[in-house]
Structure 1
Amino acid sequence: MAKPAAKVSAKKPAKAKIKTAKKPALTLSMLKPSVNNMSVRVFARAAGLDHSETDVWGHTRSPEYMARNPAHLTPMIEDKGLPRGVLWESCAIMQYLANKHGLEKLYPKAPAKRAMIDSAMFYLIGTLYPYVARATYPALNFPQYAGEVGHSDAHPDKKSEAQKAAIEAIAEPLEVFHSFFRNGKPFIGGKNPSIADIRLAATLEFLAVIDYALPEWAKDYMAAIEKKLGKAYAEPAGDVRGYIAYVRSQANA
């Protein structure tokens, strides 16, 4: 008698493994209209860093944000390698990330060259940017700093005088960047833009809101940086320019 054929058990198809999206290594909290924030946004793109951006407009004073960043400032990065997990201030962020990832093209390692990059950035945030802020913040509808004439209850004429004085003061530090830090080179960094160049070009974007007459070298310099960095510069710059166009349209309405 023939043996019955053995039953062939049907194999269950193997379950497909679901790949979870890899979380970006770096999280950047930012405000799109800000040139301080624009600096880091341009840098992260130019450096090709794996990162995500969160627009925290209106949330920097929230309990959640303040718990991480008691200074309630932007830009802010979150990175596991940091002692407190977060870091703010645009120049400090660019320096840290350039050091961490060995980005010598943007932030040279040679002490003398690096010192010039640092000097240019510190001169910008200590001298040029305060003038730019006093000159442009009223037109941008940004709050001015405590202790400034623009923040006080002074007569509008006094505020206007202070703004005019700031506008007039911009020319001198601008010339310092041109004649001293660039010194005939295409960029402060030499043949390629450095983090100091990114910070300077971003800062100069704000001057469009007051129709500041930039010298020709500055116009050419900004155009050269945008051409060199491409979308890495153009995309964040577009947000700043869009905001400027908006506030100007509101002022003319």
Structure 2
Amino acid sequence: MAKTVTKSAGKSAVKVKPKAVAKPAAKTASAKPAAGKSAPKTAKAKPAKKPALKLSMLKPSVNNMAVRVFARAAGFDAAETDAWGHTRSPEYIARNPAHLTPMIEDKGLPRGVLWESCAIMQYLANKHGLEKFYPKAPAKRAMVDSAMFYLIGTLYPYVARATYPALGFPHYAGEVGHSDAHPDKKSEAQKAAMAAIAEPLEVFHSFFRDGKPFIGGKHPSIADIRLAATLEFLAVIDYALPKWAKEYMAAIEKKLGKAYAEPAGDVRGYIAYVRSQAKASA
């Protein structure tokens, strides 16, 4: 019985046919078409549509310049509206009671609008996943946030006090420049602010950059854009920027190209106009 089983098992094993070999795959599209037949047409990929952006802005302002640079560098299809002389209009204040620029309009926002340059850049970077401008990693993002908050809380007030008198911009309430103090006192306050700029400026160099090309690393972050724009105002008072700051600003402009140069040109043009007027009246 054992032999019979063995034999029949052996015979059946011999009779089992090997599995059919899979036929070769059909020729790929790169292969030559058969005679008389044309190759199938491949659909052309449509270029990605740029996100639309409605922006109300003032061209001479470095706060506005920061968002204008960012919008261009990030590839937005920005529709800019010059709000010069209109920020106190009933229509503008109805949407923006703070009457500030820059301001963007977006249906996704709870109130439909958003102002403050840093908040605008943060929002747009978050919404569109623009990590090269605003990293998602908590530690890296914290450094970008810290740099921006330090700028608007410490450096920018000094820059404003030092440059606003020359630019013809009104000082904030409570500032010596806004008061009825003697011109000598106002000049003294302006010089003190100018002298104070060096310390926070060095903090950006030694702490936030820390040997990197930019605060954001190899690519300018939204903090870099905001800092470079702020430093543009210092030209109106002939502030002697340290060598690293000049190289830093030049590197950002080179990296971002026209995205930086075009809005910067408006600020520089205004500064040149202000200086020419000062010379004419001297």
* TM-score, normalization by structure 2: 0.81
Stretches of 4+ aligned residues off by more than 2 angstroms = 22-25
Amino acid at match of 1:121: M
Q: Distance in 1 between matches of 2:278 and 2:241?
A: 22
- Show structure 1 runs of 5+ residues with no match: 1-21
Work out which of the residue numbers 121, 134, 137 in structure 2 matches 1:94: 121
Aligned residue in 1 for 2:228: 201
RMSD in angstroms over aligned alpha carbons?
Answer: 1.1
Q: How do 1:161-172 residues align onto structure 2 when only pairs under 5 Å count? A: 161-172=188-199
8 Å CA contact 1:25–1:79 kept in 2: the answer is: no
| Cα distance, 1:23 vs structure 2 | 11
Q: Residue deviations 1:42-91, cap 9 Å, x none?
A: 00000001220000100000001000000000000001110000000000
- Show structure 2 runs of 5+ residues with no match: 1-48
Aligned residue in 1 for 2:270: 243
Q: Distance in 2 between matches of 1:231 and 1:109?
A: 26
| Cα distance, 1:155 vs structure 2 | 0.3
Work out which of the residue numbers 151, 156, 165 in structure 2 matches 1:124: 151
8 Å CA contact 1:193–1:225 kept in 2: the answer is: yes
Work out which of the residue numbers 203, 213, 223 in structure 2 matches 1:176: 203
Q: Distance in 2 between matches of 1:51 and 1:213?
A: 34
8 Å CA contact 1:24–1:52 kept in 2: the answer is: no
Q: Distance in 1 between matches of 2:236 and 2:122?
A: 29
8 Å CA contact 2:50–2:75 kept in 1: the answer is: no
| Cα distance, 1:24 vs structure 2 | 7.2
Aligned residue in 1 for 2:182: 155
Determine which structure has greater relative contact order: mean sequence separation of CA pairs < 8 Å that are 6+ residues apart, divided by chain length.
1
| Cα distance, 1:25 vs structure 2 | 2.4
Is it true that 1:28 corresponds to 2:66 in the alignment? no
Matched residues, number: 232
Q: Percent identity?
A: 92
Q: Distance in 2 between matches of 1:203 and 1:26?
A: 23
Amino acid at match of 1:218: A
8 Å CA contact 2:55–2:105 kept in 1: the answer is: yes
Q: Distance in 2 between matches of 1:63 and 1:41?
A: 25
Q: Distance in 1 between matches of 2:255 and 2:213?
A: 11
8 Å CA contact 2:171–2:178 kept in 1: the answer is: yes
Aligned residue in 2 for 1:252: 279
Aligned residue in 1 for 2:241: 214
Work out which of the residue numbers 81, 84, 91 in structure 2 matches 1:57: 84
8 Å CA contact 2:51–2:76 kept in 1: the answer is: no
Aligned residue in 1 for 2:71: 44
Q: Distance in 2 between matches of 1:205 and 1:73?
A: 20
* TM-score, normalization by structure 1: 0.91
Is it true that 1:72 corresponds to 2:104 in the alignment? no
| Cα distance, 1:226 vs structure 2 | 0.1
Q: Distance in 1 between matches of 2:112 and 2:164?
A: 31
Q: Residue deviations 1:176-197, cap 9 Å, x none?
A: 0000000000000000000000
| Cα distance, 1:247 vs structure 2 | 0.3
Q: Distance in 1 between matches of 2:175 and 2:99?
A: 20
Q: Residue deviations 1:183-219, cap 9 Å, x none?
A: 0000000000000000000000000000000000000
Aligned residue in 2 for 1:15: none
Q: Distance in 2 between matches of 1:234 and 1:26?
A: 20
Is it true that 1:109 corresponds to 2:173 in the alignment? no
